[in-house]
């Protein structure tokens, strides 16, 4: 997480035991049967079970979003990072 970004304090908030597990679910990506991008959509927090963040903090996270693991799939990680870079900020005010 970028410096200064903290989870939003909502009624049922419970900080995970490991701070690196305080993940933010930005978006879901819909693809066709060939793996081509169709659209992006959001989920409610209760669907993903992830932590809530204020909109301004989410903008900061989008600017530095990068998945750079070699496993399980470096090409998929690069594709996801590229999709967030390409489309992530366009939908925010």
Structural domain includes residue 52: yes
Give, rounded to a whole angstrom, the gap between the first and last alpha carbons of the chain.
Answer: 21
Structural domain includes residue 66: yes
Q: Give the model's confidence band at 33: pLDDT under 50 very low, under 70 low, under 90 confident, else very high.
A: very high
Percent of the chain with pLDDT over 90: 5
Looking at the structure of the chain, the number of domains it has is 1
Query: Domain limits at 74?
Result: 24-87
Q: Which of 73 and 89 is assigned the larger pLDDT? A: 73
pTM: 0.66
Per-residue confidence (pLDDT) for residue 91, from 0 to 100: 54
Structural domain includes residue 29: yes
Looking at mean pLDDT, say which of 15-19, 29-33, 78-82 comes out highest: 29-33
Structural domain includes residue 68: yes
Structural domain includes residue 43: yes
Nearest to 5 by CA among 90, 28, 19: 19
Structural domain includes residue 82: yes
DSSP annotation of 21 reads G
């Amino acid at each position: 997480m970028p410096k200064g970004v903290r989870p939003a304090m909502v009624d049922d908030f419970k900080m995970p035991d490991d701070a690196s597990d305080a993940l933010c679910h930005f978006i879901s990506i819909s693809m066709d049967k060939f793996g081509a991008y169709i659209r992006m959509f959001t989920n409610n927090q209760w669907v993903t079970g992830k932590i809530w963040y204020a909109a301004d903090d989410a903008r900061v996270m989008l600017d530095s979003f990068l998945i750079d693991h070699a496993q399980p799939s470096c090409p998929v990680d690069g594709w996801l990072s590229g999709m967030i870079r390409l489309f992530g900020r366009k939908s925010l005010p």
